[in-house]
Amino acid sequence: MKLYYSQLACSLADHIALLEAGVPFERESVNLKTKRTASGVDFNDITRKGYVPALVLDNGEVLTENIAVLDWLATEYPTLGIPGNLGRTRVLEALAFISTEVHRSFKPMWHASSETQKAQARATISKLLDILSESLAGNYLFGATPSVADFYLFVMLLWAERFDVSVPPELAALRQRMANRPAVQEAMRHEGLISANDRAASTAA
């Protein structure tokens, strides 16, 4: 299994999930501007969508779309999901909200946009994060242990920190809790987001 990722991109969620699952995997970074992987391969030949995450399975199939990749990981490695009748559906519900509402709302921050557009995006994202904070069920979205939805949410919270988006205190605490996890620290070190000596990550860059 091989993950194609880019520094501080949404693929960090998949990177964390693989490390949390404790399974062997390969990883290679992608320059999203040049569409070249670290070893010089044209990333468009891996996926013609040209964006991360892309997860190449052992049988050669390529999975894309963060919701699908994280759902596949949680199905394959159940400790990354939540149990119960509605477990998978609740995780998908959270992943869809994070992807199609929160992630999408960050677009003006990453692309050339006016200050007005950025201010509007900040306000929108804050409201969406408020909704998520109200649905916390303990330390994480679904209880005492994190699921793939928390990993994706964590990336959004790092982006919020980077772009000065106000975050409700419950989610700031979740961000710190996640940052203290060894798998998260390993992923962040590997992506060059924290240095080898950093124990806990409170900032993304």
Ligand X SMILES: N[C@@H](CCC(=O)N[C@@H](CS)C(=O)NCC(=O)O)C(=O)O
**In the complex, which residues of this chain contact ligand X (CB under 6 A)?**
9-10, 32, 50-52, 65-66, 99
Position closest to ligand X via CB: 51
Question: CB 109 → ligand X: shortest distance, Å?
Answer: 11
Enclosing H/E stretch for 89: helix 87-97
Nearer to ligand X, 51 or 151 (CB): 51
**Identity of residue 27:** R
| 18/51 Cα distance (integer angstroms) | 19
Nearer to ligand X, 43 or 140 (CB): 43
**Strand 36-37 relative to strand 2-5, pairing:** unpaired
Question: φ and ψ at 106, to 5 degrees?
Answer: -80, -10
| 141/63 Cα distance (integer angstroms) | 25
CB within 8 Å of 75: residues ≥ 6 apart:
81, 88
Question: CB 137 → ligand X: shortest distance, Å?
Answer: 25
Nearer to ligand X, 109 or 178 (CB): 109
Question: CB 49 → ligand X: shortest distance, Å?
Answer: 7
Nearer to ligand X, 37 or 136 (CB): 37
Question: CB 151 → ligand X: shortest distance, Å?
Answer: 13
